[in-house]
Structure 1
Amino acid sequence: MIIDVHCHVWPDHIAPRVLASRPASLDPVFDGTVAGLLKTMDAAGVQRAAGLGIANAARTVHRTNEFIGSIDRDRLIPFGTVHPDLPVEENLRSLADNGIRGVKLHPLFQELSLADPRVIDIAHGLAEAGVVVITHAGAGGDAAANERGAPRNVMVLHRAVPGLRLIACHYGGYHRLDEAEAEVLGSPVVLETSWPPRLADLEPDRLRAIIRRHGADRMVFGSDWPMADPGAEIATIRSLGLDAAEEGAILGGTLERLLSGPATAASASR
């Protein structure tokens, strides 16, 4: 089974506005709607995908989680949102009320630092509730955003809450891959494979080395839909010459284990 852990979705009336504000270097290639995602999944041979919701402000957390909690769960896995401007208990209640067991953090759009004590407090609550967390990691467009999502701050969060099932997007450091290799590779943090707009922009030898050093059992496939094409990203992973076990783990096996296992699953081997 192929599972895409990194797909942003918005209500039909909101998606065009959100995508119109994206950086020119990341022009969307799909429409950002749930129907659009399901159509893309069919074309790419993706059986399941995580639908991610992000509240840029505390006031939109509850309605974002209501929307994400309403998506088709036969094929989509709802990943909701939290915000450090809300109390921990209110964040957790919003997730529980909507039956959500995954969360997306975004240091760029939410203007939160992964090292913020408030974020760490929320992470403790998420870990205790068995919620899986996926976070943007790496560059964010300006110096402040770059700092908030820096690879070293991924590790601050992990070390503060070692029981958190934590997935770091973009190999732990979008456009900061040297730092991610130094800071995050070889750690228990699970790494996600997207590199928009094209994973093929990275050198195949470097990708193979990263996968072999970190371990395919701690790597998950993500496309960053609608900014990238899952079909093309899957083809790039398959072109790397990985063995069947490695490829199977990345394209779905690792995430299945992470979503179903205990809170310590990501660190059990280290």
Structure 2
Amino acid sequence: MIIDAHTHVWPDKIAQAALGGNRVPGLEALGDGTVGGLTADMAHSGVDLSCCLGIANEARHVDSVNRFVAGLADDRRVPFGTVHVERSAEDNIASLQRHGVRAVKIHPLFQRFALDDDRLWEIFEAFGSDYVVIVHVGEGGDAFTNSLSNPRMIRDITRQFPSLRLMACHFGGYKILDDAEEMLAGADVVLETSWPPSLAKLRPERVRNLIRKHGAERVVFGSDWPMTSPAEEIRAIEALGLSDDETKMVLGGTLAGLLGDRLPG
């Protein structure tokens, strides 16, 4: 089974505007951000299951985003909801529970709060081990937003919250891979492989060595659709020179274990 840990979808009527509003300089979307577009791309790429990540850039949108992603849950999609630090930990968890969502995406680049914000740590404390959390880590914006997430913050979170089911996007450091390798390789965090516009932009031997140093049992495949082509990202994983068992772990085995009963069926 191939599981994509990192896709973004929006309601059809706002997908185009949402893509424009969440633009990363230098990147152009390859997909349209709609549920139908993702479904078609999954059929083309051979992805069996996609994690659909919701993001509320503003606190007032938390509940509507969680309602939308909850409605996506079926045998091909796992909903990841949203929280915001301008709402209390209790309010955030109440929204997730109301909609039956048990996984969350944190995106400092667009939500504009830091991974070491005390208010976010209060939410992490309330999560315990009950929620799977995936976070953007690294650059992709202006100097301020780039300062809101880095590998050191991820390392500190893993030390403070050892029971948190945490995944760090972009190997834990988009565009700052040296820092991520130094601080996170071997740490108690699951690393995700997306690297827009493509993982193929990185040297295969470097990625292979990083995965082996960290352990394929703690690495998950993510495409960051619609910013990339899942089919091309799968080919990039398969071209790394990993063993068959390692490749199977990265493309789905690791994430299946992490999601557990959040998987369909």
Relative to the length of structure 2, the TM-score reads 0.96
SS at match of 2:128: helix
Partners of 2:100 and 2:27 lie apart in 1 by 32
Residue pairs, 1:2-41, within 5 angstroms: 2-21=2-21, 22-41=23-42
Q: Which residue of 1 aligns with 2:217?
A: 217
Distance 2:251 2:212 in 1: 15
1:197 maps to which residue?
A: 197
Q: CA deviation at 1:143?
A: 2.0
**Structure 1 gaps, min length 5:** 262-270
Residue 150 of structure 1 aligns with which residue?
150
How far apart, CA to CA, are the structure 1 residues paired with 2:227 and 2:140? 15
Deviations along 1:194-218, one digit per CA (max 9) or x if unpaired, are: 0001110000110011011000000
- What residue number does 2:182 align with? 182
- The answer for the alignment partner of 2:246 in structure 1 is 246
Mapped partners of 1:116, 1:102: distance in 2: 20
**What aligned pairs does 1:27-176 form with structure 2 within 5 A after superposition?**
27-128=28-129, 130-176=130-176
Aligned residues: 261
Q: Say if 2:56 and 2:83, in contact at 8 Å, map to a contact too.
A: yes
Distance, in Å, in 2 between the alignment partners of 1:23 and 1:164 is 28
Contact 1:136-1:168 within 8 A present in 2 as well: yes
8 A Cα contact 2:25 2:141, kept in partner: no
Paired with 1:116 and 1:246, the residues of 2 have a C-alpha distance of 35
- Check the 8 A contact 2:25/2:140 in 1, yes or no: no
Identity of aligned residues (%): 50
SS at match of 1:213: helix
- Work out the CA distance in 2 between the residues paired with 1:33 and 1:127: 32
Higher deviation after alignment, 208-217 or 118-127: 118-127
Q: Give the drift of 1:24.
A: 4.4
Residue 240 of structure 1, CA deviation: 1.1
Q: In the TM superposition, what is the alpha-carbon distance from 1:253 to its structure 2 partner?
A: 0.4
Partners in 2 of 1:111 and 1:7 — Cα distance?
Answer: 20
Q: Distance in 2 between matches of 1:237 and 1:29?
A: 19
- Residue 14 of structure 1 aligns with an amino acid whose one-letter code is I
Q: Which amino acid aligns with 2:225?
A: W
Structure 2 distance, partners of 1:71, 1:218, is: 26
Structure 2 match to 1:265: none
List gaps (5 residues or longer) in structure 2. none
Kept after mapping to 2: 8 A contact 1:3/1:49: yes
Contact 1:54 1:105 in 2 (8 A): yes
Q: Look up the SS of the partner of 1:78 in the other structure.
A: strand
Where 2:196 maps in the other structure, the secondary structure is coil
1:132 Cα deviation from its structure 2 partner: 0.1
Q: Secondary structure at the match of 1:94?
A: helix
- Asked if 2 retains the 8 angstrom alpha-carbon contact of 1:6 and 1:49, the reply is yes
Supply the RMSD in Å over aligned alpha carbons: 1.3
Letter in 1 for 2:43: D
Structure 1 CA distance, aligned partners of 2:98 and 2:18?
A: 26
Structure 2 distance, partners of 1:4, 1:106, is 18
| CA distances 1:200-247 after superposition (whole Å, capped 9, x unpaired) | 000011001101100000000000000000000000100111111100
CA distance in 2 between partners of 1:89 and 1:199 (Å) = 38
CA shift for structure 1 position 23: 3.1
The Cα of 1:25 is off from its aligned counterpart by 1.1
Instruction: Write the distance in 2 (CA, Å) between the matches of 1:250 and 1:42.
Output: 20
Using the alignment, how far apart are the partners of 1:36 and 1:72 within structure 2?
A: 16
Give the conservation status (yes or no) of the 8 Å contact 1:114–1:156.
Answer: no
